[in-house]
């Protein structure tokens, strides 16, 4: 089992419980991101597990000493849920958007200090 699949399995267990199994396309997407440093476009229905892909890739890349992941989404309503999901996956994430202007300086300080694993922007 490569690092991509290992991190995907760990993230899935943390997010969905010990019975969670990775989908073949999830494993392929994480491997492409982590092992091949490829650009990946994942288009799937809600609930398929897209966030597990970017949390697993983030986890694997951070374990290698790489910088934080930037996630851009037009869906402001999902940002809080995604930050919570990142925490369940063992990652430190924050968001900057039009509703939390007062938090931006602290978030940017955390990015500069390498204390965030992921930054979600909406």
Share of the chain above pLDDT 70, in %: 100
Read off the pTM.
0.89
Average pLDDT, the chain: 92
Furthest C-alpha separation in the chain: 43
Q: Which two tokens stand for residue 58?
A: 């983030």
Q: What is the model's pLDDT at position 72?
A: 87
State mean pLDDT over 36-54: 91
Residue 115 CA to residue 103 CA, distance in Å, equals 15
pLDDT tens, 73-118? 888 877 878 899 999 999 999 999 999 999 999 999 999 999 999 9
**pLDDT band for position 46 (cuts 50, 70, 90):** confident
Contact 70, 96 (CB under 8 A): no
Please give the pLDDT value at position 73: 83
**Of the given ranges (8-17, 51-60, 76-85, 106-115), which has the lowest mean pLDDT?**
76-85
For residue 1, is pLDDT > 80? no
């Amino acid at each position: 089992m490569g690092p991509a699949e290992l991190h995907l399995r760990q993230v899935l267990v943390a997010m969905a419980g010990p019975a969670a199994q990775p989908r073949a396309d999830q494993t392929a997407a994480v491997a492409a991101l982590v092992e091949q440093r490829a650009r990946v476009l994942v288009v799937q229905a809600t609930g398929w597990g897209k966030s597990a892909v970017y949390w697993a890739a983030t986890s694997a890349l951070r374990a290698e000493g790489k910088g934080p992941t930037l996630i851009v989404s037009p869906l402001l309503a999902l940002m809080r849920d995604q930050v919570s999901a990142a925490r369940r996956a063992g990652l430190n994430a924050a968001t900057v958007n039009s509703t939390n202007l007062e938090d931006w300086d602290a978030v940017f300080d955390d990015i500069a200090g390498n204390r965030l694993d992921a930054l979600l922007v909406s």
